[in-house]
Chain A
Amino acid sequence: MSFLEVTAQLADGFLTTLMIFGITLVGALPLGLLITLGSMSKVKPIKWVFKTFVWIIRGTPLMLQIILVFFGPGLIFGAKALPRLVAVIIAFIINYACYFSEIYRGGIESIPKGQYEAGQVLGMTKTQIFFKVVLFQVIKRIVPPMGNEIITLVKDTSLARVIAVVELVKAAETIVALKSIIWPLFYVGAFYLLFSGILSVLLNLAEKKLNYYQG
């Protein structure tokens, strides 16, 4: 098979991988913030529910969660199964939102109490303190760990194949099995390298931009 033929056959896989990546990010970034608010809630039961949820999601394999989201509704409630790709994306969003929420929480908690108090004695409202004083400092602190998670997400997208979603690795594997050629695997490997490489460069740029001050 020629390079072009392989590329054409892999096209759907590329698209699926990019879609899982993109939609997960768009969904998990804000959902993570909601989970953070929940897990930092002053109402003990709410906090407890969110913390337990995060603990379960982070303590079990994403692969298991994907399988559960796909088969769970049918087997437990007799509901119609979700489309495969939708199930995958739901599992990814929930999983990554939990990881993001822990990073957000760490970032928020790392801001010294003195920053809040300085804002308070200067007559700022709670909202102003959050948006004008704290938020930027939090962002600066969480960009490096968020970067790591986002790059992990690029590679995690290949887990979608567990419920037979044909993402890039699955697509390549199919060609390898059918045509007995090995190089499509290296081809997709190079794609992942390039993708995560570009992200690294962008994230580094963001980090540098935020580094105009120390602390």
Chain B
Amino acid sequence: MAFLEVKNIFKRFGKTEVLKGIDFSMEKGEVLAIIGSSGSGKTTLLRCLNFLESPDLGSIVLEGEELFNAEQKYSDREIREKRLHFGLVFQSFNLFPQYTVLKNVCLAPELMRIDQSEKKLSRAEKIQIRKEIEENARQILASVGLSDKLMNYPCELSGGQQQRVAIARALAMKPVILCFDEPTSALDPELTGEVLKVIRELKSSDRTMIIVTHEMGFARSAADKVIFMADGVIEEYGTPDEVFGNPKSEKTISFLEKSLENITG
């Protein structure tokens, strides 16, 4: 049995059918890149995995446990617990502007461990938990190269730095699978490198990741598996060498040709 199994996901918005039966699975420690033209449903798929959208049909199974099945109804609380298995890094960062970098990373863990705590915590316990969370946040921020920006506000950072904070913020919740939705699309070209470097480092520490990206070179070199999506279905799936070196589907071939043209101008 695979680590993550996504089975037969359908999703429509009104009349438009966006996902038309998505099936794939991935192993622990794997990096999966999802490529495809605009509007093919990549973002919608990630949003389904993170429970920001609820699929009309299909199921999601993680480590043998069925996290989601479209036939079932889930309470807000259940959804909240389930989505914590996944992290999501947005294209537009979505940092909290009123908080410092450090607070951006600490806020959600504090709310989860202190405010949502089942038992009543003593003051000393709260202080202890806060300390642990902050210590952990400092470590994560150091690992993405932001130790010197802890007390800065997001508006004082470059796009690349903001995106690295967003990655740290997601990591602080210890997700089992970290998802990225075009993490470098909103960045100036000279800033994409620092973000991709962080993602590569996460890969080398065996983190399981799903990355929607337009960076073909990055997908080819960093991913273990690649999915090419077109019109709401998985058109092609395989290792980077298979998908990029020896594509079988017409749509994949023409998409890859187009993105090559874009790169070479």
Give residues in A with beta carbon < 8 Å to B.
112, 114-115, 117-126, 128, 132-133, 136-137, 140, 212-215
Contacts and interface: CB of A to CB of B under 8 A. Distances in A.
Given A121-B87, A215-B155, A126 B76 contact: yes
B16 interface: no
A16 B54 CA distance: 57
B232 interface: no
Given A121-B87, A123-B108, A128-B115, A136 B94 contact: no
B169 A122 contact: yes
Given A120-B83, A121-B86, A212 B52 contact: no
Contacts of B80: 123-125
Given A118-B96, A123-B112, A213-B154, 14 more contacts: A114-B94, A115-B96, A117-B52, A118-B94, A119-B108, A121-B88, A122-B108, A123-B80, A123-B111, A128-B111, A132-B111, A136-B98, A140-B98, A213-B153
Contacts of A119: 108
A213 B83 contact: no
A172 to B, nearest CB: 45
Interface in B66-98: 76, 80-81, 83-84, 86-88, 90, 92, 94-98
Interface of B: 50-52, 76, 80-81, 83-84, 86-88, 90, 92, 94-98, 107-108, 111-112, 115-116, 153-155, 169-170, 173
Contacts of B90: 114, 117-118
21 contacts: A112-B94, A114-B90, A115-B94, A117-B94, A118-B94, A118-B95, A120-B52, A121-B86, A121-B88, A123-B84, A123-B111, A124-B80, A128-B111, A132-B107, A136-B98, A137-B97, A213-B98, A213-B153, A213-B155, A214-B155, A215-B97
Contacts of B111: 123-124, 128, 132
